[in-house]
Structure 1
Amino acid sequence: MNILEVSGLTHRFADGTTALSGIDLSVRPGEFVVVAGANGSGKTTFLRHLNALLLPHAGRVVVDGVSTIDNAIHARRAVGMVFQDADSQIVGETVYDDVAFGPENLGLARGEIHRRVTAAISAVGLDGFADQRPHFLSGGEKRRVAIAGILAMQSRVLVFDEPFSNLDYPGVRQVLQQLITLHRDGHTILLTTHDLEKVLAHADRLVVIRAGAVVRDGAPADAVKGIDAFGVREPEASRRGMALSSWLG
């Protein structure tokens, strides 16, 4: 069974503008899907439907067999989202408190919360950071704190909105390695990015959205060709006809 089933998804903003128009998309458990599109194409709006931050005006979003309209809480537990602005996601005074926020809201026992939090912090390579104040961390470290927070919720699907935005090179490497590890560990991953060079060689699939509709969906090496037509820069390696595997360097 697909872990995500999106059918006829339509969403309109308050001013009546159509943001998404009849999107159909299925995602299998364990897939790594890159979602690309020009600014304003509807990528972030689409992602926010996956964990019921937004609900469809028409169509359906089904997460692990349950419609987001019928049970938004189920979607938010199953789908963890890391926002483009990591600071907006930080709520705790310490890294430990921040990562514990979600499990505490699930009403879990203190011992189970501690087990989940320490495991999640370790999983993102932040051992020794538990007592540090997250707002003083680097951009890459903040993103990893946000990832730890959704790992502690034991979300099956991890969604990232522009995870490399505003990061320096070390931060990009940290977050990219974390994404690769999470995928290897069996998580289903969807992310939006303008930097296809950084991540596409690791992905199973590339989906392109233009004006709120899916215009391409396929194997990355095929779907990236001529992507400039949709307002996304085609990586130089692709223009030169280099095999996707060679992008890994």
Structure 2
Amino acid sequence: MNIIEIKNLYHRFSDGNQALDNISLNVDKGEFVIIAGANGSGKTTLLRHLNALILPQKGIVSIAGISTAKDPVRARQIAGMVFQDADSQIVGETVYDDVAFGPENLKLDRSKIRKRVSDALKAVNLTEFADKQPFMLSGGEKRRVAIAGILAMKSKILIFDEPFSNLDYPGVKQVLRHIILLHKSGHTIILTTHDLEKVLAHADRLVIMKSGKIVRNGAPESVIKGVDIFGIREPYASRQGMSLTSWLE
């Protein structure tokens, strides 16, 4: 069952650059999809359409049957996005306040807000951080706060734009572990990354973009070979002919 449907999507920036060129893509409910490509390939622009931060100039984007053009607010509640710069997404003075921001804007009663925040912080293992100031946290912890904010909105689709960017190794492990757990709990995951080595073995599908177009789309094993021609570093294990399951060992 498709939870995301994109049909003939185009987007041109004000400077004339064609960012998206006739993109069509469907994503099934519960699927884990990685979108990869060199800088300027259109990855982030596509993600922002999924979260209704950019509305289609031409074409259709549907989130759980809802047109982003017709109801962007509802689409944004279903598809939550964690930005590459976690600091830009933090608005609360405490971790609790930040995670509560979305539910408060939905005008929920206080008891429901407390329950949503409690559940979200527990899901990302930040319960003990509720009273801390977000900007005092590590990079990995900030990303988890951002994830908690999306979970508190009851988003079915979680969108991550370069979630491992600027994180040290412990931070990468923290964030990746929680993304995998969220996928296993039934969330649909859409993720862009420059570093396929870390996450590809966990994905159901790999989509490669170049110059605003989808140039490859399929099971990671069938798509990954030779991706260097698209400005993406092919993981060492793949170049050595190892299976994806062996990457998990």
Give the TM-score category using the shorter length: over 0.9
TM alignment of 1:10-49, pairs within 5 A: 10-49=10-49
CA distance in 2, matches of 1:12, 1:56: 10
Q: Paired residue for 1:84?
A: 84
TM-score (normalised: structure 1) = 0.99
Specify the SS of the correspondent of 1:217: strand
Amino acid corresponding to residue 92 of structure 1 in structure 2: G
After TM superposition, the structure 1 = structure 2 runs for residues 212-223 of structure 1, keeping only pairs within 5 Å, are: 212-223=212-223
Question: 2: CA distance between counterparts of 1:111 and 1:127?
Answer: 17
Aligned to 1:216, what secondary structure does the other structure show? Answer: strand
Q: CA offsets, 1:174-233, max 9 Å, x none? A: 000001000000000000001101000000000001000000000001111100111100
Q: Which residue of 2 aligns with 1:122?
A: 122
CA–CA distance in 2 between the matches of 1:99 and 1:140?
16
Mapped pair 1:189 → 2:208? no
TM-score (norm 2): 0.99
- Unaligned 5+ segments in structure 1 are none
Letter in 2 for 1:95: V
Find the residue that maps to 2:60 and give its secondary structure. Answer: strand
- Say which SS state the counterpart of residue 113 (structure 2) adopts: helix
Equivalent residue number for residue 67 of structure 1 = 67
Which amino acid is 2:204 matched to?
A: D
Distance 1:243 1:16 in 2: 42
SS of 1:19 mapped into structure 2: strand
Q: What does residue 245 of structure 2 align with?
A: 245
Equivalent position SS for 2:117: helix
Q: What residue identity is the alignment partner of 1:198? A: K
- Describe the SS at the equivalent of 2:49: helix
Offset of 1:56 from its aligned partner? 1.0
- Paired position in structure 2 for 1:175: 175
Output the amino acid matched with 1:48. Answer: R
- What is the CA–CA distance in structure 2 between the aligned matches of 1:77 and 1:233, rounded to whole Å? 34
Query: How much has 1:19 moved relative to structure 2?
Result: 0.3
What is the alpha-carbon distance in structure 1 between the residues aligned to residue 182 and residue 223 of structure 2?
24
Structure 1 Cα separation of the partners of residues 58 and 156 of structure 2: 25
Whole-Å separation in 2 of the counterparts to 1:162 and 1:191: 7
Which consecutive residues of structure 2, in runs of 5 or more, have no partner in the other structure? none
Question: Counterpart amino acid of 2:215?
Answer: V
Secondary structure of the residue aligned to 2:7 is: strand
Residue 127 of structure 2: SS of its match in structure 1? Answer: coil
1:108 Cα deviation (Å)? 0.6
Corresponding residue number in structure 2 for 1:200: 200
SS in 2 for 1:150: helix
Q: 2:109 maps to what in 1?
A: 109
2:58 maps to 1:58: yes
Match of 1:143 in 2: 143
Describe the SS at the equivalent of 1:100. Answer: helix
1:243 maps to a residue whose letter is S
- Residue equivalent to 1:134: 134
**Identity, % of aligned pairs?**
67
In 1: Cα distance, 2:196 partner to 2:222 partner: 13
- Per mean C-alpha deviation after superposition, the further-off stretch among 157-166 and 8-17 is 8-17
Q: 1:235: which partner in 2?
A: 235
Letter in 2 for 1:102: G
Q: Residues of 2 paired with 1:247 and 1:202: CA distance?
A: 9
Q: How far apart are 1:107 and its partner, in Å? A: 0.7
* Partner residue, 1:225: 225
Residue identity in the other structure for 2:79: V
Question: Which residue in 2 is equivalent to 1:153?
Answer: 153
Root mean square deviation, CA, Å: 0.5
